[in-house]
Structure 1
Amino acid sequence: MKKIWLTLLAIIGVVIIGLFGAGMYFYHVAVVPGPKDFLGKTSTLKPSDPLYQQKKWFADTTKTHWYETTADGLKLDADYIPAAKKTNKTAVIAHGFMSRKEEMGAYAALFHQLGYNVLLPDNRGHGASQGNVIGFGWLDRRDYLLWARQVVRKNGQNSKIVMFGISMGAAGMVMASGEHQLPQIKAYAVDSPYTSVEDEITYEAKQQYNLPKYPLVPITSLVTRIRAGYSFEEASAVKQVHKNHKPIYFVTGTADKFVPTYMTKKLYCAANSPKEMWLVKGAAHVKSFSKQPQAYQQHIKQFLTKYVH
């Protein structure tokens, strides 16, 4: 009997070690910054790109570096471009997972054409910003609000700020919307946000590795809690948007296979503030702008005109 118990305990020990090892592996895949096999490579700028003019404008325009220090001591980096005509309107623009501010040039051009100053931060752990973990929007939500405060300090108390993001940056902006808000923040606009980090990791585990949620996702979440200071469960954009009182605009493509459309629909339903949603037929993940450039800009403009005067 003793041998049986010892054997059983040994098997249980091996299983626990194996599961923890798997959790560590997927923690490095998901939460540690670096090249990701499941992400496509950044394409070079080509005249055939529907957003070529916008991206070329951004590449050629002069930018000023802004810096911010987070509550946990990380130095963050951002690019700032003033509007062509002096204004108190500024858009804070957030990039996606393992992206960087330079890849947000088309969106910077969009807001610049609408008459806004634009501020493009690199998320912690991305681009020129410090950090050794990916915050998935949850650690970034308060960083975005720090950037908004810096806009007020530099551009004045009468600033009117729009918070915009795509993908992970969109989820982070939705998460930021549930925090204490500056009166200068007038609206949010988000493209393809996920409902929570837990939901997105669970979805990608199935899509990329054909793995179920249990036990891998909770174990990886536990490792993330220990190593990065947050769990997947707490990082909920749904709970945050429910607390938001600012107007919010949602965009998503109906052919999104990375952050499925139902997540944006769920966030829209959870929002209690003034809200609108645009479903772009046939658009893949964060491809709504390139699929319908003129309509995209017009939709954003029409929504913001109601709240940013």
Structure 2
Amino acid sequence: MAPLANRSVKKWLIVSLLQFCVVVPVATVVMGAVAAESALHPAPNPIPAVCPCVAHVRCRAVETKAADGTLLKAWYYEPETRQGGALLMLHGIGGNRTDVIALGTVYEKVGYAVLTPDLRGHGETSGLVTYGVSDEQDVRAWAQWLLSQPGNERLYGFGVSLGGSVLLQSLKTETRFLAVIAESAYSSFPAIALERTHRSLPAHLKWLNGLFVHSGIRWARLRYDMDLHASSAVESVRRTSTPVLLVHGLEDDLTSPDNSRVLAVANPSVTQLWLVPGAGHANLWATARTEFESRTLNWLSSHMTKKQGDRISPVAP
């Protein structure tokens, strides 16, 4: 009886192992696809019918089209007293243009015109969320629109979280920014996806992290022909000559400050890194208001012209 029992146990172990080897990877791939769908289709966040405005600033709804025909929507703020600067401000994932209008007043008060668009797949802008893959052309379209408006002589950019990474990715083709600011930005989509899922998975499932993330990326490629591996702010920063101020909270538990450290190291000649103690994700203005305003305003005002020979540099071999 003992040999028969042993054979039964061995058979059960083999069957269980085979089931584990098949079921777990398949389930992980399915979960990756579901996560990808969620990432590409964030919950809608309604836009007010009228743009909020402050004294001595005019506001109006504007729109333009990206190179692929996607209709882009935004609010445009023009202070009564202008100084020639125009600031493109981009919000984070799952948000919309309203997320940056309060911060925008900091720059409007000193004479900057401020444009606050809805990113792709957010607010009133159509399309899928592409994490910078297609958003680059949107940034170029808005840059062109801003520079076509009366009184706008100098172009700057400010992006928060996803908006920061989108802005940085655009630098490989959009060379008209005199300087940009990226708050709580991630270095690349694969990197931040691996970071966030590793943090959320239980300890006994963390070994599945890579399969989970890359199956989601593969799903986006198969289902939407979207290459999320191309979503890389760090590669664009490595190639740009545009000055970049990177600001990040040291207590950021959504996008670790290591992301901004990686971005800074990629091109030390054009980047400046400010890590803020006690600040979390995308709340640096609330945490260190006076210093935040001083640093960011000084950063913009210290870059009034392009340096001689500024251009996009080739990728290092």
Shift of 1:230: 2.4
**263, 270, 292: which is aligned to 1:296?**
292
Q: For residue 177 of structure 1, what is the aligned residue in structure 2? A: 171
Give the Cα separation in 1 of the matches to 2:272 and 2:135: 24
2:144 is equivalent to residue 149 of structure 1: yes
Point out where structure 2 has 5 or more consecutive residues left out of the alignment. Answer: 1-14, 306-317
Shift of 1:289: 0.4
| Identical residues among aligned pairs (%) | 23
Give the Cα separation in 1 of the matches to 2:221 and 2:55: 38
Given residue 137 of structure 2, which amino acid in structure 1 is its aligned partner? R
Shift of 1:287: 1.1
**195, 214, 230: which is aligned to 2:226?**
230
Q: Structure 1 residues 271, 139: closer, same or farther in 2, change over 3 A?
A: same
Report matched runs for 1:1-309 at 5 Å.
17-34=26-43, 62-131=58-127, 133-155=128-150, 159-182=153-176, 185-210=177-202, 211=206, 212-308=208-304
Shift of 1:13: 7.0
Q: Is the 8 A contact 1:244 1:272 kept in 2?
A: no
Q: Is the 8 A contact 1:91 1:163 kept in 2?
A: yes
Q: Structure 1 residues 180, 120: closer, same or farther in 2, change over 3 A?
A: closer
Point out where structure 1 has 5 or more consecutive residues left out of the alignment. Answer: 1-6, 36-40, 43-54
**Aligned-residue CA RMSD in angstroms?**
2.7
Please identify runs of 4+ aligned residues in structure 1 that moved more than 6 A.
7-13
Give the Cα separation in 1 of the matches to 2:159 and 2:57: 21
Q: Is the 8 A contact 2:57 2:80 kept in 1?
A: no
Given residue 150 of structure 2, which amino acid in structure 1 is its aligned partner? N
Aligned residues: 282
Q: Structure 1 residues 257, 140: closer, same or farther in 2, change over 3 A?
A: same
TM norm structure 2: 0.81
Structure 1, 170-179 or 204-213: larger mean CA deviation: 204-213
Give the Cα separation in 1 of the matches to 2:88 and 2:174: 17
Q: Is the 8 A contact 1:250 1:277 kept in 2?
A: yes
Q: Structure 1 residues 166, 227: closer, same or farther in 2, change over 3 A?
A: same
Shift of 1:61: 6.0
Structure 1, 234-243 or 133-142: larger mean CA deviation: 133-142
Q: Is the 8 A contact 2:130 2:228 kept in 1?
A: no
